[in-house]
Amino acid sequence: MSAALNVVILAAGMGKRMHSRLPKVLHQLAGKPLLGHVLDTARALQPAPGRLCVVYGHGGELVPRTFAAADVSFARQEPQLGTGHAVQQALPYIDESARTLVLYGDVPLVRIETLAALIAASGDGLGVLTVMLDDPQGYGRIVRDRDGAVVAIVEEKDATAEQKAIREVNTGIMALPGGKLRGWLAALGNDNAQGEYYLTEVVKLALRDAVPVRAVQAQTQWETLGVNSKAQLAELERIAQSRTARSLMEQGVTLADPARIDVRGVLTAGQDVRIDVNCIFEGNVTLGSDVTIGANCLLRDVTVADGSEILPFCHLEGGEIGAHCRIGPFARMRPGTRLGTEVHVGNFVEVKASEMGHGSKANHLAYVGDSVVGRDVNIGAGTITCNYDGAHKHRTVIEDDVHIGSDVQLVAPVTVGRGATVGAGTTVWQDVPPGGLVLNRKEQVHRPQWKRPTK
């Protein structure tokens, strides 16, 4: 059975104005490479595309390595001789009995609804996505006849003065009939200022063959914008973040300032979530209901359960925070950490690859690494788990209801038994039995005649 739709994504350009060794389509937008956005949009089309082909060039095999997937084929364009030549390279990887949608790896924000409208409008003809611009400089102009029918797409370098005044421009995105595609591509010429094979020339060939050409206008300019420079990348970043902020607020999230939030991945939030300014969310972050995020926090691949509060200036990565916890300010959580309910992790406390049970607290100036901490444990200021011997990491176990005084060193592997108390300033290198007090014997010496040195 033939595929309903092919998608060809042109991603071979160098991006000279990016001034970077990285291929243009691999530059990040909202936490994901430009090409990644386009692939995700293509995959979300309904019905789903039968075949996806990415045409790559500059950057060698970096693009295929980055996006290797079972549903994606890659065609190399070498040398780069224009958009028509690029689509020619994809022909061996697509079903020519199906329609082909041509997208661009550096146009990341095009909406699914827009592409669906283009595909539907193209019918059995050729569909062209256009947009109205106040300043159309640099874009191919849409030339229509007196009846409004599209008769040509003229590139900027080849346009007359009259044609350059046209505000409706070609976005480059097209829906092409499969049965005609190979013949049209073979008929393209390169008699133009650039000496390239323009895909836009298929419009003339379609009209020659009496194939209807239908133009669909995008509703918004931003979804058709491409990236050719770092300035344009930054402009699209703000557009993407503004869309995300608006979507979050429509879901009920309270943002202190919608212009000062960055979501570089997927942020899922429950009811009555409040987010202060300058917060960054990376990867997959899930916030339960009644969660508060203070100013200047970074959360990466974190789950925060209902009712928890993240105070300002926290850096949380790769872990789970239970319900009604209080984290920060200035706390750090590293990957592999799981906090139970009502846990407190205070200022300048770092927790790494550890579990902390219900009601446990490390309120200030502590390091808990590679540890299992039970329920209702209190970890005093200056306490550290000495988990690394220079070659290997070792485990510390602190059982329920343990009280650890200030400035304690727990030298792993070690277990502190249930209900024990560890005195301030103690170095623990042997297992501590349940209950009772453990401390290192010390003598406090007072020298009344001692004089402090002076300069």
- Would you name the residues annotated as active-site residues? 364
Q: What whole-number distance in Å separates Cα of residue 375 and Cα of residue 293?
A: 25
HEC string of 55-78 equals: EEECECCHHHHHHCCCCEEEEECC
Q: What whole-number distance in Å separates Cα of residue 303 and Cα of residue 352?
A: 15
E strand segments, 270-336: 274-275, 279-287, 292-293, 298-304, 309-310, 315-321, 326-327, 332-333
Q: Which of 340, 371, 345 is nearest to 358 (CA)?
A: 340
Looking only at the bridges linking them, the beta strands covering 150-154 and 141-144 are antiparallel
Q: Contact, 385 vs 410, CB < 8 A?
A: yes
Query: Residue 68: which residues within 8 A CB-CB, separation 6 or more?
Result: none
394, amino acid identity: H
Ramachandran sector of residue 350 (left: φ over 0; alpha: ψ -120 to 50; beta: rest): beta
Q: What whole-number distance in Å separates Cα of residue 119 and Cα of residue 142?
A: 19
CA 20 to chain CA centroid, nearest Å: 20
298, amino acid identity: L
For residue 113, count other CB atoms closer than 10 A to its CB.
Answer: 11
Residue 354 phi/psi, 5° resolution? -135, 160
Q: Contact, 226 vs 107, CB < 8 A?
A: yes
204, amino acid identity: K
Reported as type and span, the H/E element at residue 230 is helix 230-250
Residue entry with tokens 């790769």:
318
Q: What whole-number distance in Å separates Cα of residue 142 and Cα of residue 148?
A: 10
Q: Contact, 133 vs 224, CB < 8 A?
A: no
Determine the length of the chain. 455
